[in-house]
Amino acid sequence: MIENEKAQEILLILEDKLEKSKSILKEDYASVRAGRANPHVIDKITVDYYGVATPIAQTASVSVQEGRCLVIAPWDISLLKSIEKALQVSSIGINPTNDGKVIRLVFPELTEERRRDLTKQVRKMGEDCKVAVRNTRRDAMDGVKKLKNDKTLSEDECALCEKEIEKTVSDSIAEIDALVSAKEKEIMTV
């Protein structure tokens, strides 16, 4: 058990940053469309709502219909055209259909090539997350070495801290690998 307060603080900061990295990866994965309608696909798309860029989900009710269709019903009908335009210029790659009351996004079946592209994208996101985790590890290790050089931390405590940092980071990387595998499996499932 590490008793030095500054070393404990370094470990707490490390764990907090690792959790944030993993939660960002999960959010990014939620926006990757895998052939099924997913309301999170439009989370980052904003529409001009009385002069303020507002996420679509805050201006309309978003629901999934029949597994492959996303229905967007704006609370203010005057926003219908703005939402449609925002969806058209977004990177989701689906043309919205507007019937005057709601907007429908019909998700087509993914082709094998598109599935492979998405898995590459998912792997890259996972690798970017691992890079962030490794950078966090480096910062924590530097903090521990600084404490050792300042004679605040003994050799044994330093070794114990480094071992704890390595274990925490290894566990996080294993979790990231599991997230990547799960998302790849979801995308490749026809």
Residues 16, 172 contacting (CB under 8 angstroms) = no
pLDDT at 128: 94
pLDDT in tens, 72-105: 899 888 888 888 888 888 877 778 888 888 889 8
Round the average pLDDT of the chain to a whole number and report it.
87
Res. 111 pLDDT band, cuts 50 70 90: confident
C-alpha–C-alpha distance, residues 139 and 145, integer Å? 10
Sign (positive or negative) of CA dihedral 163, 164, 165, 167? positive
Beta bridge partners of 104: 71, 97
Say whether pLDDT at 1 is over 70. no
Structural domains of the chain in order of their starting residue, each with its CATH number:
5-31+111-188 (1.10.132.20), 39-106 (3.30.1360.40)
* Ranges 9-13, 111-115, 134-138: which has the least confidence: 111-115
The one-letter code for the residue type at 146 is K
Say whether pLDDT at 32 is over 80. no
pLDDT in tens, 39-48: 877 888 888 8
